[in-house]
Structure 1
């Protein structure tokens, strides 16, 4: 009989070596899937408990002052652990601390089998949103009343362990056998448990699953059955009798709120579609715009028997549409409809690639790769889409996913053994039958540029988050190259006496002339050396000529191809170009020498195709730069000498959008919370190339009571930015600190410069008390999602963010009370793309400030302002530290673009009183 001791500890910090000690110890014993024993004690650490730990755990000095020391409870702990599994959520931490305490008390460390419930949960529940214990217990409907208390955490981890065991025991036999092959490289000692589950496995097969090609897959569900109704009401009839009937809507939508703006928008979009015109709608926060465009879109698709494409900027909104909005739409409409989701093919797992990776397991494979394989094996028994967005892969697995994802070079042929089960092909087939196709801007625009190979032909579209449409077009037409773009291909080919394809072919293909193999090796070696030298020169050039920093902390340098110091780089480019073609030719000779029936011949053709893509990008970026584009270098300041990124983007995409996208459509509706500048749409019309088409516009006001929910404050004692950046940062930090003390954190601080954020972070860190959590983008992590979750986890938290935090962040309720805007969000004047657009406007005799800088900044400002109020019950303050909003003539343009909120100009001393009263 196996026994499991599920342990949790609370400590004064993370390092025993630096004096941190356990302050609470708890465990739960599980035998035969039943909890048989529970234990909890506080422990006296012999030192103070830091304020932050007291706040996190609610354990104070009074809890531990009369508690036993660890050495006193060690014998009882060792007795219960004898012959048992040590189990913990993040076992590395708990076991390390327990063993350090045991050793310090003169006892031997625990050396028995270990299970980590984080790792096992990742495998068992690979689609969980988070693997934090508090999040997992919520998702799995388990009782967990006091997170960060050892007794509650141990109890929750024990419940989780039993759910994990149940999930493993229910997996198909073949899946368990495949996980068993990976088990040796996992942290958990799970092999004997896997053997037990395999021995007791029932023989009956699950009819929802199939074994194919050595994998267990979920059979796809039958296509959505759609009833073809004999007659459906007209849109006008449905709109009048149903959508305008509040009681009717309440019966179908939980927590329905009557929103006049939503009804306005539904009617307006139907009118735009009917007139085959184009529509621009700014819909304020809380309008309910998603449902407002889905209703007329569904009617249009059904009545005219043609698909309507719904495009979003973010995958998150795409997911929200599918999981939340479409079920509501289904409950409202008087007819059934088909929907499909289409994403870029790199979102879909390639089964051929995964099968190959699974069978090529090496003894020294990275832990993250092994764990990801185990997760995918379990996921395949549940997924019908193969979409990576469903998965929460092991950290640092993005590179491995790139090896597994479908791509344009993957086999599209029906001859591929996986073709009928291919997730990407399945998504395309489903889209052909759909009334509503949910996709994203990147795919819509890349599909236009690849002659509509992915999205079925359509004449009507809704573009949500439309303020990003121009930027996405620019990204799609942009190009990027870095040192590793080519290096990993050179390494993949390898050498004859080392590793890689050449060494493999030397042994397995004796028919190949060895001179051809050594020629390819020599060409690759020459290319590798010159490629290294080129990127070292680019790094040197970028460091010398850097214009500014971007939000990732990289230096940015615009390329002047006619500059004197570019001559030496041109020479290096020419050498690389020569050796690159030489290398490609040598590989081509190898391909020609292979037998026609050889499987390697197809593989090397695929290899050459991918290398040629890099060669074409290299030529466009550095050899023959394309006119009408801006080229620049980005450098990781803390990276190696080759950490250089060569980028290019078109200066203007309006003509391309007009000719290639809008021209081919009967009607397109573009909507966002931020499209208008000073209540006008002229800026966005020009940027999107809509000047020559019939455009209808509408502003739908937010239903929120802004005057009762928000105060906009401008401290009069902030210096103007022109007085000097150092003085401005110091004053900004003092203001942020004083406001944070009043509001107990709960503050989002928005910067326009990563450099200013970093300097402010250092100053704030020195001022804040230990019980405040300071979280900064680019300091702890670059992931917006992780930073936001961390911010919401702590009571007293301040979050510092740059450009990506000005929008798309949703922190409702009491978690966010204050937004501080450090500077008005004008683009840096030396940003390469902004500079190029400004120069073009000057050439046309227009004002870059009025036509570009100001409208851009206003739209960004509106996005930042909109982070504060996400629900009708939210309340808070926006503090603008940049006094130009009231002192400069153009400042009124920012204020006029906002909802009607009270603007208060006072000294910080006076504002502190107002803040206290307001909140």
Structure 2
């Protein structure tokens, strides 16, 4: 039946927008109502209004939730895989509307944006192919039938009446996705060198003939080319430590020699980053190298772990169990799956605010969960996004990955297909130490052990009817039937897995009713933590040393170690038996089955045997077998005073030892680069030695090439550093007043950094309303119900806004221009004095180690201020106890000045005043 003519029907619902002090409702008849926040909360519960980003509105109104029509959901349906700032101003901008000046304007903008989105949907669907138009109508019908608030207006815009939009299988998106192609294995890459002249020539080509000359950038590219010379001995890679001051253009500087080497040697170069922002920046910069989209799609691949990509089997299983309330989320996810470039849900083309709107279970919950992939047994294997990315990466020139993926996969013997890159560039190299610390640590906790049990057994109890999880038996059942040894080993492993914590383990620990060896061990760990902690009533997490153990803990550790051994032995047998099939039935197994067997064997090794071995070593240490390379401790993880996890932790005191051994040594060439590699102690050689220690270079046989190019920025002229001496940092009223006055003096563009979430929240509560009165929107991590990257995007786009955040904001923000012109730090960011830091402090130089970490943190924060030659900024520290030995965190010629708050406000206002005339 052909569709009827489209009709644009806006919902008969008011629009509600909120501010710090009050709200505005725009009634369907066009009348505005001014409301207090208390009135707005009642209004929201009673009227089911139209809003922009419902979770953020609910948080501002002090509500857990309320029924609403979210304009962002309409945007996600009409423009899938497209991003907009999730604010009324952001919607207005992307829809080409005038910028709202007040709450009334924002309300009108939401109403107009909704109308334009419905009109756009009608036009686009009319111009679509018949099959795509049927899919759009079918998804809209499915969502409307389930009660989606936008259902009726969307169906009207699509010309659907009654059941005319009912289409069989509109949400079966996998049927519309293309299959990836398999290619013959790539031959090993060559070893032809890249000389400095080639690197400089490629850089000049990317910049173009009219580009501004940057001698430092060319010098940097020349130095980095050393990593692309052939190595002369096994386990002695060509390593370059390159510090490039902000504004040097290091991204293009290392892309130049990397791209030349990839072309000459027919092998990829991997570029590893730490933050999503840099991955996005890299993606943009590579347009200079590959200006044609088709060439770039073939030559550049973004690679992440499986947990970042949507799993089509998970999507199908959620669709099969489709409950009425899930249908709108499924429809929006289906629209995205059909439009996405690569299926990446973390930093790709998936709007982060959709997680806020739909919930993690209905969005990120569709990703692969820690090794549950069934590989070629999956009906969607030939269309799988991650399998497509793996194959594209083998043939690419440039693969952009992240530190966590590169380190974990290297430690486990290769990437998904066992292939290791020979050339790797670690950008944001100042994060290598912390990334290695995370990658090479071990955690024997209730949550980790229970997760392993779930991975082996599948969901149990009530969860069995709700979860999409697949146990090992289901993942391997049709393979183990080839061998009696496999069947017996699998049965034995699943029986032994019941020694791990079962459903409800945490509640049993609290009730003193631990069951089995793992829960008995965890109960004694919890007892020791509570007994030894200085303040067990604290709402924060607790930790204590492992020695001396409370009575019974060593014996419980020994019992658990034996139980883990009884689990590991049949898993080893199963893995070897499955691997044996590759030889025994080599002539009968098709390539898909071989690939699946190899994948399951890798999963067993990485997901089960590796952690079991690490846990056994930790348990042995409790019995007296210590290893001075590691530091162990016990903890109770708490959130708002409630126990969330219990267990034992092990970290390398120096995690760059395994990083150097597993990641750097096997490589042929490695670049570790950052704007902040070196310490600022004032001793140049000592600062380089600190960089070598923090990057693992100190553990290699051959010395690295050291390279440093200075920033082209005139920091003494472009920045000021002020240390406020008359604000008591333990008096939150004084601290909040300082933030308020400094943000007002800068006219917005202020980034407030905090060493504790509680301090951030206390300041936000005090300054939110007065800043809004002055026309300065205040954003806050841990307060607004938005993910951090979305908050940073809003802050970047809105020049008058201010943002409060912690470490994740300090390290991940890249905001050029006047949108970031002031940074205020609440106090000196000393390292947290926990057990892990205590051990490292003792090994790495005591107080000098504290100073180094603190200088690097200050250096990183200061580096956010000036990103372009025209930028100006002020850095303020609200801590009179800032010692002068930390002044090396700031560039040469930038001298911190100690002043009172009033003087700091005056200097900030004068220095950041916009130019006149």
* Change in CA separation of 1:410 and 1:714 when aligned onto 2, cut-off 3 Å: closer
Corresponding position of 2:579: none
Q: Does 1:867 align with 2:864?
A: yes
Corresponding position of 2:673: 671
Q: Does 1:404 align with 2:366?
A: yes
1:752 is aligned, of 751, 755, 761, to: 755
Matches of 2:497 and 2:851, distance apart in 1: 55
- 1:773–1:798 contact (8 Å) kept in structure 2: yes
State the Cα deviation string for residues 418-477 of structure 1 (Å, max 9, x = none): 332222221111111122222111121112112113374432221111111121111111
Corresponding position of 2:847: 849
Give the C-alpha shift of residue 710 in structure 1.
0.7
Matches of 1:785 and 1:309, distance apart in 2: 24
Corresponding position of 1:125: 79
Matches of 2:193 and 2:664, distance apart in 1: 30
State the Cα deviation string for residues 287-308 of structure 1 (Å, max 9, x = none): 2111111011111122233322
* Change in CA separation of 1:684 and 1:547 when aligned onto 2, cut-off 3 Å: farther
Classify the secondary structure of the residue corresponding to 1:871.
coil
- 1:133–1:157 contact (8 Å) kept in structure 2: no
State the Cα deviation string for residues 607-659 of structure 1 (Å, max 9, x = none): 99978888667656657668433334252242533444654322212322232
State the Cα deviation string for residues 643-699 of structure 1 (Å, max 9, x = none): 446543222123222322222222211111110123532112123331332322222
Corresponding position of 1:705: 714
Corresponding position of 2:333: 376
Matches of 2:466 and 2:613, distance apart in 1: 24
- 1:459–1:667 contact (8 Å) kept in structure 2: yes
State the Cα deviation string for residues 340-363 of structure 1 (Å, max 9, x = none): 222112222222332222222235
Matches of 2:808 and 2:568, distance apart in 1: 40
* Change in CA separation of 1:176 and 1:157 when aligned onto 2, cut-off 3 Å: closer
Matches of 1:583 and 1:270, distance apart in 2: 49
Matches of 2:897 and 2:650, distance apart in 1: 44
1:327 is aligned, of 263, 282, 287, to: 287
Classify the secondary structure of the residue corresponding to 1:390.
coil
Matches of 2:497 and 2:653, distance apart in 1: 40
Corresponding position of 1:880: 877
- 1:745–1:797 contact (8 Å) kept in structure 2: yes
Corresponding position of 1:555: 541
- 1:7–1:88 contact (8 Å) kept in structure 2: no
- If asked which structure has higher relative contact order (CA below 8 Å, sep 6+), I would say 2
Corresponding position of 1:630: 631
The alignment covers a number of residue pairs equal to: 794
Report matched runs for 1:32-431 at 5 Å.
40-42=30-32, 88-89=50-51, 117-130=71-84, 131-139=86-94, 148=103, 149=105, 150-166=107-123, 170=128, 171=132, 173=134, 176-177=137-138, 180-188=141-149, 190=151, 196=160, 215-218=175-178, 243=203, 248-250=208-210, 256-274=211-229, 276=231, 277-322=238-283, 324-331=284-291, 338-363=299-324, 367=325, 369-388=326-345, 389-392=348-351, 393-395=354-356, 397-401=359-363, 403-406=365-368, 409-411=371-373, 413-414=375-376, 416-431=378-393
With the length of structure 1 as denominator, give the TM-score of the two structures.
0.72
- 1:478–1:649 contact (8 Å) kept in structure 2: yes
Matches of 2:892 and 2:83, distance apart in 1: 35
- 1:340–1:438 contact (8 Å) kept in structure 2: yes
- 2:855–2:886 contact (8 Å) kept in structure 1: no
Which ranges in structure 1 are unaligned for 5 or more consecutive residues?
Answer: 28-38, 54-69, 71-80, 97-110, 224-231, 251-255, 510-515, 589-601, 720-724, 842-846
Matches of 2:266 and 2:609, distance apart in 1: 42
- 1:354–1:404 contact (8 Å) kept in structure 2: yes
Give the C-alpha shift of residue 480 in structure 1.
3.7
Classify the secondary structure of the residue corresponding to 1:713.
strand
* Change in CA separation of 1:456 and 1:606 when aligned onto 2, cut-off 3 Å: closer
Matches of 2:769 and 2:177, distance apart in 1: 54
Corresponding position of 1:458: 421
Matches of 1:14 and 1:133, distance apart in 2: 12
- 1:249–1:332 contact (8 Å) kept in structure 2: no
With the length of structure 2 as denominator, give the TM-score of the two structures.
0.72
Corresponding position of 2:576: none
Matches of 2:53 and 2:208, distance apart in 1: 53
Give the C-alpha shift of residue 794 in structure 1.
7.0
Which ranges in structure 2 are unaligned for 5 or more consecutive residues?
Answer: 59-66, 184-191, 232-237, 478-490, 510-518, 573-596, 913-917
Which stretch has the larger CA shift, 408-417 or 156-165? Answer: 408-417
- 2:174–2:383 contact (8 Å) kept in structure 1: no
* Change in CA separation of 1:419 and 1:136 when aligned onto 2, cut-off 3 Å: same
Give the C-alpha shift of residue 576 in structure 1.
7.0
Which stretch has the larger CA shift, 168-177 or 269-278? Answer: 168-177
**Rg comparison, structure with higher value:** 1
1:820 is aligned, of 824, 832, 850, to: 824
Give the C-alpha shift of residue 817 in structure 1.
2.8
Give the C-alpha shift of residue 774 in structure 1.
5.0
Give the C-alpha shift of residue 827 in structure 1.
0.7
Matches of 1:571 and 1:450, distance apart in 2: 31
Classify the secondary structure of the residue corresponding to 1:215.
helix
Corresponding position of 1:839: 842
Corresponding position of 2:886: 891
